[in-house]
Each structure stands twice: as C-alpha cells, then as structure tokens.
Amino acid sequence: MPILVGMVVLPKLLVSNSAQQLAIEVVYASFFLAVIIFFSKKYIQQFFLRQDMSREIVRLLENRIATRITGHGTRVGAICEALLETFEYPKRRRPDLVQIAIMHDIGKSFLPSYVFEKRGALTLSEEKEYQSHCEKGAEIIKTIYPKGPFADWVLHHHERWDGKGFPQGLKGEKIPLESRILAICNQLDHLMARHQDDVTVHQLLQELAGTVLDPELVQKVDLNVIAEIRDTVQFENYVAAEQEERELVTLETNRSTEGKQHIGESVLLRYTDRLMNDTHLSLPEEKISKLAEFCKQSRQKFHEFIELPDKTYEAYFSPYGEEVFIFVHDLTPMLEFKKKTMLQILQSYQDVIRTLSNNKIHLCVQEQELFENLGDYIDSMPIKNVTDVPRSRNFVSQYVSNYRVTRSKMEILLAVSEATTNLIKHATEGEISLFSKSDVFQVLITDKGSGIPLHELPKTILVSGYSSKRSLGKGFSLMSTLSERVAVYTSSHGTKILLEFACQSNINNIDSNGENKDVINTLTS
C-alpha cells in the first residue's frame, strides 16, 4: 500500500509548477492518505472483532459441552498463529487458517455431552458418534463460508499421516496441508496442557511424526518454538481443571469399593469363524458374533454394551492372530445396586425437601406418583422455542378463567412463564398440559431434557438463586411461592413439574370422557 501511494502521489508533487499548486497537491495527498488510513484501521478492527466473536462463541459452546474442554479452540487458534511463521505459510492466507483453527471443533456442539463427560474408553458406538464431529463441523463451516476450502480443512483435521485417521482415512500429502497444521496444533494443545516440561512435550511430539503427524512439519517445531507458544498461550486453568478431574476420579474410585460386592460374573470367549461359548451365561450370540467379526476384519480393539430385557453386559473385543478374544462382564448386579442406592437417596431427598419447603414441594421418587395425582384432562400444547413462552401464558389464561382460583391470574401466569422459560433454557422441547381435580387447577410442564442431576437436586429445588446449566435457578422458589403445591419428577429422560392452584369451585365442569388414560400414556412415552 505505501508503494502504491508513492507511485500515485509523488509524481504529482514533483511536477507541480508553483508553490500554490504544490500546496493544493499536498492537501490532496494528505486527504487521500487519511482516507486510506481510516479504512485500513476499520478493516483491522473488523478483522479482530470477527476473531474475538468466534473465540467467544466457541468458548460458550465448549463450556456447554463439557467444562474441561473450555478454551481448547482459543488455544489452538493461538498455537496456529504462532506456528504459521515457522511453517512459512503464505501470509495472505494466515488469518483464514487462524479463524478456522479457533472453530475446528465446532461440530462437537452437536454431540451428546456424555461422550465428553465419560471417564474411560468409549464404546464402539460412542467412538463412531465422536468421530462424526468432523463431518458436522465441516457442514457448519460450509454454511458460514460457502466459498473456499475451509470446510475441507475442518473435515480432515483428524486424518493421520499413516492413513489410520478419520473420517476418510486419507494418507500423507493427500491430507490438505491446513488440516495437517491443525492436527499439530491440536496435539500441541493436549501435550502442553498435560506436561509442564517443554523437553517432554518435544519428545512426545517427535514420537507422533510419521504416524499421526506430518514429519516435515514436526521437525520445524523445536524447543524454542514450544517455549514461545507456552509464553503466549495460557495453560494454567486447563492444568488446574485436569488436576481436579483426576482427584474426582480418585474419589469416585474409593467410593466404588463398597460396590465391588455387587460385581457380576465375567467370562472369556473366543471367536474364529464362529463364537465358542462354553459358559452357562445366556448371551446374544448373534450380536456378539457380528461385533467379533468386525474386530477380526478391522484389527481394532474396542468395547461395547449389550442390553437384554433382563440383563446388561459389557464386552471387550481384542484381535489376536486369526482369533478374537472377548471378555464379557455381567453388569446387571451393579446396575441394580446403583438403582437401589439412587432410590434410597431420592427418598431421603424427598423427606428433606418436603420438610424444608413446608410441604409445598413434593419430590416424586416414581413417575407414577405424579400421574396418580392428576385430575381430569383439559388440553395441552407443545413448547419448542422461546416464542412459545407467551403462547403458553395465553393458553393457560383462556382456561383458568373458567375456575374460581384463589390466586390472581397474574400470579398463575408468572409461575407458568417461569416454568416454560426454564424448559426452553435447559431442555430441548416439551409440553404444557392442563388438568382439573376437585378444587384444584393443575398445570403440568414436561420436557425431554437430560433431567436434573441427582447431586444437584437439593440445591436446585431449595436454594434460591442457585443455577447451573441444567438447573432452574430461582424457578422452584418462585413457582412454590405463587402456587399451593409443586410436584417434581426427574430422570435421565426429562423433568416433569406439576403446579397446583387452589380454586373455590368449578364454573364449567369439563368432562374428560376417558381422555386421562390416553394423555398419561402420551406423557410417559
């Protein structure tokens, strides 16, 4: 740009015939330069604003998925920016690659959180689901940037130099250069977060050269480069989170010692061209045989859960020569013990919550407890997005007028609004249903989320202002204040909240005509 300005402006200044003309030309050139500087500054501001927005969006998505991966995209972007000079990557394309580095794992936001929260190895089906984040991320990038190869960079960032990566198993230089750079940045983030010693990081990175990573690129990353990256990128918070995670695993391991007496039977099976089962266990041999054949052909080790109507097994598959060894463990006793323990905890919570809420909040241990308390069915409507919140208020308003409720309509609608708003915030979709029982007007709100975690139940229900990504914050406190009684049932399949409002007597008695049974069947499905 300065050269261009010089070529355009300086000749005009040199050919000026008088001082007056020279002054005019200087003013003209000054104005011309001011305009260029102004727009250049605005362009730079917009560029950094776009990167800042991308970092914030990705950070929020990572935090929603699992707190331990929060900041991964930002760190990979910073590592990428530091390495591009070392790799002699074209300067005009660097901003685009840094931008994609920040967003490279955006596809993970479409995966279920349990894939990232699980401790230990993933099952075969979970591994396939995890690997799909490359395709999902590429689809998102393609939507944001329809022109250019950016989506391909994200699609192939988990390919390996030896061809054993995913999703397409590309090998060597068939993998886009940008994807190979992203792979190195990705590995460096994980290595540097787990190891404080730069020499160790350098050695581990070298071990990945020629198998996982491009060996020529890896050779350019020396100890000085790693030290510069560590000075630029903040790993302290990530290391602290990792340490907390390890301590939590240790604590849970100690707590599980009591449960070892509930461990079921284990057997070792062999598979060649057929399954050899010499045990007394009743196993789904056809399914095990298919998985064993896959193990034999792919030469991959993996484990999978096998569920029967009355049994649950965990099977580990390992290829050995022309055979496959299968270790099968019966999880049924442990799962029954866990279910019994959770039931006991819920019953304890039930008594505490009822007492501390002055009998206004009832925690249902079984779903049927809530349904048995329902009156005659009136009507229902789906809740899918934020626009349904005001619609839910109008929906309740048109029916509540038929009852002599002791509370004001405003109080009822505020309680309903609180429930539906939190449904939208913390679940995917749900439904609001109305019932009438004796002198009570009932509003049932159901969702299809992941439920309220067991360890958060007391705080969620009893502590006003407590909030987490799945809890209702001030919701229960407000709903219990504005209603006569709140009944709650929650599980991994969703949460159901029943609000009850006292009324003197019904003006219009609505005949349910046997609809309740059908409604309850719909709500439980």
Say if CB 233 and CB 192 are below 8 A apart.
yes
Each residue's pLDDT tens digit, 379-435: 999 998 888 889 999 999 999 988 989 999 999 999 999 888 877 777 778 899 999
Is it the case that residue 126 has pLDDT exceeding 90?
no
Q: What is the 3-state secondary structure (H, E, C) of 465-512?
A: CCCCCCCCCCHHHHHHHHCCEEEEEEECCEEEEEEEEEEEEECCCCCC
Is it the case that residue 508 has pLDDT exceeding 70?
no
What's residue 410's pLDDT?
Answer: 92
Each residue's pLDDT tens digit, 137-173: 898 888 877 888 999 999 999 999 999 999 999 999 9
Each residue's pLDDT tens digit, 428-442: 788 999 999 888 999
- Classify each residue of 321-350 as buried b or exposed e, where b means 16 or more C-beta atoms within 10 Å of its C-beta: eeebbbebbbbbebeeeeeeeeeeebeebb
Question: Which two three-digit tokens encode residue 169?
Answer: 């198993």
- Bridge pairing between strands 302-307 and 376-383: unpaired
Amino acid at 62: E
Mean pLDDT of 484-509: 81
Q: How confident is the model at residue 29 (pLDDT cuts 50, 70, 90)?
A: low
Best CATH choice for the domain 351-524 from the list 3.40.1170.60, 2.60.40.10, 3.30.565.10, 3.40.50.720: 3.30.565.10
Say if CB 130 and CB 115 are below 8 A apart.
yes
Domain residue ranges of the chain, discontinuous segments joined by +:
1-47, 66-242, 267-330, 351-524
Residue 213 and residue 164: Cα distance in Å, rounded? 11
Residue 396 and residue 504: Cα distance in Å, rounded? 18
Partners of 486 in the beta sheet?
Answer: 361, 499
Question: Which two three-digit tokens encode residue 358?
Answer: 């002055």
Two domains, one topology: 66-242 and 351-524? no
Cis peptide before 284, with omega less than 30 degrees from 0?
A: no
CA distances from 108 to 71, 99, 103, 139, 499 (A): 14, 17, 10, 12, 36
Residue 389 and residue 393: Cα distance in Å, rounded? 7
Is it the case that residue 447 has pLDDT exceeding 70?
yes
Each residue's pLDDT tens digit, 285-299: 889 999 999 999 998
Q: How confident is the model at residue 8 (pLDDT cuts 50, 70, 90)?
A: low
Is it the case that residue 304 has pLDDT exceeding 50?
yes
Nearest to 487 by CA among 374, 341, 355: 374
Domain 66-242 superfamily per CATH: Hypothetical protein af1432 (1.10.3210.10)
Mean pLDDT over the full length of the chain: 78
Q: How confident is the model at residue 494 (pLDDT cuts 50, 70, 90)?
A: confident
Percent of the chain with pLDDT over 70: 71
Say if CB 165 and CB 199 are below 8 A apart.
no
Is it the case that residue 49 has pLDDT exceeding 60?
no
Residue 41 and residue 27: Cα distance in Å, rounded? 21
